[in-house]
Amino acid sequence: ESFVALVNTANPAAYKSTSPAQGSSSQHPPTYPPFANAHSQPAPSLMDPFFDDDEDLLDLSPATTPRPMQSQESGLPLTHAAAPPAGLDSRSPSLPTHGAGQPHGWNFESQATFPGNASFPGAPPAQRKHTIRRRKKWKWRWPWEKEIQPTGERVIVLNNSAMNVDFCSNFVSTSKYNVVTFTPKFLKEQFSKYANVFFLFTACIQQIPGVSPTNQYTTIAPLAVVLLASAFKEVQEDMKRHRSDSELNARVAKVLNESLGFDSRPWRDIRVGDIVRVESDEFIPADLVLISSSEPEGLCYIETSNLDGETNLKIKQASPQTSSLTSPALVGRLHGCLRSEQPNNSLYTYEGTLDLVTDAGMPKQVPLGPDQLLLRGAQLRNTPWVYGLVVFTGHETKLMRNATAAPIKRTAVEKQVNVHIIFLFGFLLALSIGSTIGASINTWFLSAQQWYLFQTSSFTGRGMQHHQCSYPHILTFIILYNNLIPISLIVTTEVVRLQHAALISADLDMYYEVRDTPAVVRTSSLVEDLGRVEFVFADKTGTLTRNEMVFRAASIGGIPYAEEVDEGRASGEDGRETWRTFADLRALLEGSSGRSGVERSTSGGEQERERATAVAHEFMTLLAVCHTVIPEVRDGKIHYQASSPDEAALVAGAELLEYQFHTRKPRSVFINVRGSLVEYEILNVCEFNSSRKRMSTVVRAPDGKIKLYCKGADTVILERLGKHQTFTEKTLSHLEDYATEGLRTLCIAYRDVPEAEYRQWSTIYNQAAATLSGRSEALDKAAELIEKDLMLLGATAIEDKLQEGVPDTIHTLQMAGIKVWVLTGDRQETAINIGMSCRLIAESMNLVIVNEETSHDTSEFISKRLSAIKNQRSTGELEDLALIIDGKSLGFALQKELSKSFLELALLCKAVICCRVSPLQKALVVKLVKKNQDSILLAIGDGANDVSMIQAAHVGVGISGLEGLQAARSADVAISQFRYLKKLLLVHGAWSYQRLSKLILYSFYKNICLYMTQFWYSFFNNFSGQIAYESWTITFYNVLFTVLPPFVIGIFDQFVSARVLDRYPQLYMLGQKNVFFTKSVFWLWIANALYHSLILFGFSVIIFWGDLKQATGLDSGHWFWGTTLYLIVLLTVLGKAALISDLWTKYTVAAIPGSFVFTMIFLPFYAWIAPLLGFSTEYNGLVPRLWTDAVFYFMLLLVPFICLARDFAWKYYRRTYMPLSYHIAQELQKYNIPDYRPRQEQFQKAIKKVRAVQRMRRNRGFAFSQTESNRQDQARLIRAYDTSKSEARPSGY
């Protein structure tokens, strides 16, 4: 079976839900599990998040698709039209409570039985036990077998751990390997590299007696070293993941024990069915059903930034039937069972029923929904404690269900090398076959002429000799030529990558001093892919922004005030309006006349001044009263619990200006105005939602007057203003200034409501509030009746603080040809606003907003826009576009039939923002691009909700930020700030790609250059397999004499400096186009190596033709010629390294000239000492003859010069007449040619300023006053609090 069910619930909007009203009908009682409803619509097929990148998308037909879970409402007073649980109709009475929190009529004794009734038939005694306790028999599952997804319902017995032993543990692992899987997984990964397979084959045939011309251990020993080095590196990197997992699993939580006390227990030991106490600011250890909390009516606040990226607090509420169980004694005596949905990956849905029994023998069922589910990874905020029942643990939690297994990643360069190795092996095989044919021809036809070799001359003898030798001959030649593929390459590249990782970690430009955090490369094998990235997928919250909202500015009565005012605005230069500071505003509110700014602003006399003060007072009072914030006093300081960070920032801003929100009671709020406590009665709250874009509060002021305070987006407030507005034009001008700076704005307005009008409207409002069907729409209509004829007071500006350097980084990445996509769980307007402030969306871009409700509408919209854009571009009109798509539309767009069109539209846009997306949808978007585009993808995020996206991309970057370290632990590279991505890619990435490309090409070149001389020599030795060089000298070639140049080129070479790469980000496109490692470049290097080997061998043969006679009268001999050829090859190869080095350092000098000097010292010493020790007798007496011969030195000077003359001439021609962009950049760097572009940028900034104002007039981002929720009544929630009685909260002990 596949993970189809998992995917179908990734986006709940992808299917049509049954309305709660229908579900609660007595004619059609709901069934459990919910997918048993035959009348439900089948879910459209979504893209499988676990598809292999090399396979087609799964075709998920409705006939084979399991039903997705359909979320019911939770049945609480704060939800609409709750669906009753299975077996009960809507007339079932609720359960009253009494006494010390124990519900009336409950019997907690386990022996109570239920005989059954018409709605809920009881089971026979023999069957009932089996129903509750379903034991799973453990069954072996092979690694290649897919996990069978459980169906039906999960039954959890309360306070009975023995009955819940079948569920998985809470242990979590994110590592790639364990003790059992390391060997098979590691070997599979290593032998997916064809070079290792080839060397293993060579090592095996070397063990055949009489076949190998070399020692039988010359290949298997280096291969073992290569594998051990790679294994050590993999173990080191995976141990970091194991340590992170161990830290997480060792976190401590409080679990209820049998003696009704709380034990501290590691997270890994928590089991399904346990009751856990979670305290404020602690992370939730598993998926819990909320039973009760310290807050009124079982309320609690959680932050889910690790799950969905949203930093605003979410409100959860326990069921009224369990919210009174606020002590261990009460909750410990709770018996029964929880019937729950099976584990799935949908973060926003949950269904379950708590089955309890009353003392009358009647079942009491408590329906549970998303409001009662606390997810692992979320954090409890501003709530002293909660009790939760563990329902999902470990890898069955919704967080882990949204995660994917740690993949084995390989770089694009490595994949290319694999392909080249196949062709080289084919080339090697052709050489071996040709040599074998040559040996066969020699045996059959030339043996009679070579009488001195004593070969058999008879026809039969030659046939027997051929039959016996032809097969071993091909293996002999394969072994002889096997070093055409360099075995040292793998070790060299791994060491160089490790050094690159160390250089990145040691870069002080990427060190964040505030948190003492350097950059960390966790997967060093991917460093070269950092230089070829074409797509960056970024999270917003915590990645681009700091998760901090700050009240920056306000326009009050047409006068602009700001926290900080620059000199130009303070002095009113160039005829601009003079801005005031918050200190001036504070002086105005206090009635002080000592500040000239206030005097100037109120120069119209005392009456005008009093009017300005009254407006400012009303403005500040509105900020302190019109909200849903809960104050909490901790350590003598007030902390604000807010479901929206924008709202908390406004209340904090009012406090800064001495209008402190102090206490909330069920019917009133108290504010401290400059030391005096003032009470405002809260009459009604008209809530915020995305269609209203505003919230209103009807209050009774201390003087008895009724006022309506309203705040919202400028578009909705301005159309509800009354006539004769004084400040509208000035306020709009200030809004444009704020929006240009990327600030989030709200308009502030109020009106006095006559008592008679309020009484009439209150009746209408109460009727709307009592409506069961369409309650939200009725309340909106009622609010419209009173939200009219408003008086504009001004506007606020809040800064959603970006991380330092984000706009510049995104702009630079776009200049480098990198497409930046933002995938966030935040709302559409928030995402657009941040996109503009961080320069992802430019002023000149047109927005394509996809916000459809159905699959058909989404398909139609995408098709129309796609054809329109294509037609526009076919006429030659090019326009920059930005695509904005919400989570619901994205769910439809990711369906198989729509995904290609959606991707085509997205690729035509310069920027893409996906909002309200789940973690799984983030991974699906990345995989869609990865499968259909031949590009390198990078994903960057900072929370657990980004892990799937990070693992799906070619390169994952985690930010070790405020949301924890989940992303950093799972990523390939961890950095502290988004701005460091610029240097990571444009400098370190570009260097790594160029260095690794040059290293690989040079490694192939130097081996082919030497070992092809063996092939040319075969034509002179009857294809006998005779080697031209002494065996150990061949080994020293890669191990000693040419080992340093590849390392120096791979670690220290720079084709241009970091300063130039930063100044000209367009140079990064060289990596995107793969300029340094194309197929043609690779085979040109191979051809150059063949040319050099032929020239070197040819000149050595010509000079030594007929065997060179020395002055002593003796012949020079085979080893004299072979050693001379060896050294001229070595000098040529080192000369080539010098020619391709762009940066010369002391290490380059030590590696290239130093290697030849070392060889000229070491080789004669070895050739002298080795024969004395009884091995390498070929060198016996060679040193005094070779190192004193003039011809030897003549060849060292002549032949390498002839070889490299062509290379030098080509390099000169290429740089002079066909230069690439980096050649020009090298000259700019060398001659320090100045760049005059900054002057142009000044002019461009002025133009952008004008465009920005024009665009912001059409599209301004506004701050949200509160969290929108269809299930929660914000007015009812705030009326549940009485912060003046905080001491009366239960302690939970």
Three-state SS string over 1178-1245 comes to HHCCCHHHHCCCHHHHHHHHHHHHHHHHHHHHHHHHHHHHCCCHHHHHHHHHHHCCCCCHHHHHHHHH
Give yes or no for a contact between 49 and 924, defined as CB atoms under 8 angstroms apart.
yes
- The distance of Cα 1184 from the centroid of its chain, to the nearest Å, equals 65
Length of the chain: 1293
111 Cβ contact list (under 8 Å, min separation 6) = none
First to last CA, the chain: 47
What gap in Å lies between CA 568 and CA 576, rounded to an integer? Answer: 8
Q: Give the pair of three-digit tokens for residue 89.
A: 């109709």
Instruction: Report the candidate in 1118, 938, 1106 with the shortest Cα–Cα distance to residue 1017.
Output: 1118
Buried b (16+ CB within 10 A) or exposed e, 192-218: ebbbbebbeebbebbeeeebbebebeb
**Number of other CB atoms surrounding residue 5 within 10 Å:** 21
Give yes or no for a contact between 995 and 1050, defined as CB atoms under 8 angstroms apart.
yes
DSSP string, 881-950: EEEEEEHHHHHHHTSHHHHHHHHHHHHTSSEEEEES--HHHHHHHHHHHHHH--SEEEEEESSGGGHHHH
Give CA torsion, residues 1029, 1034, 1036, 1038, to 10 deg.
140
In 393-518, where does DSSP find H-type helix?
A: 398-401, 412-441, 459-481, 488-505
Give yes or no for a contact between 417 and 478, defined as CB atoms under 8 angstroms apart.
no
What gap in Å lies between CA 507 and CA 504, rounded to an integer? Answer: 5
Q: Give the pair of three-digit tokens for residue 844.
A: 């000149």
- The distance of Cα 264 from the centroid of its chain, to the nearest Å, equals 33
What gap in Å lies between CA 122 and CA 418, rounded to an integer? Answer: 66
Query: Has 880 been annotated as catalytic?
Result: no
Q: Decide: helix, strand or coil at residue 161.
A: helix
Q: Which amino acid type is present at position 1037? A: Y
Angle at 952 between CA 947 and CA 955, to 5 degrees: 90
Three-state SS string over 612-648 comes to HHHHHHHHHHHHHHCCCCEEEEECCEEEEECCCHHHH
**Number of other CB atoms surrounding residue 1259 within 10 Å:** 15
What gap in Å lies between CA 311 and CA 645, rounded to an integer? Answer: 7
Residue 1010 DSSP symbol: H
Q: Which of 539, 584, 826, 886 is catalytic?
A: 539
What gap in Å lies between CA 631 and CA 830, rounded to an integer? Answer: 25
Place of tokens 């807010």: 642
Q: Which helix (H) or strand (E) holds 535?
A: strand 533-538
Give yes or no for a contact between 615 and 588, defined as CB atoms under 8 angstroms apart.
no
Give yes or no for a contact between 57 and 353, defined as CB atoms under 8 angstroms apart.
no
Instruction: Report the candidate in 537, 532, 501, 496 with the shortest Cα–Cα distance to residue 518.
Output: 501
Residue 960 DSSP symbol: -
C-alpha count within 13 angstroms, C-beta hemisphere, residue 1231:
8
Angle at 96 between CA 93 and CA 97, to 5 degrees: 160
The residues that are catalytic are 539
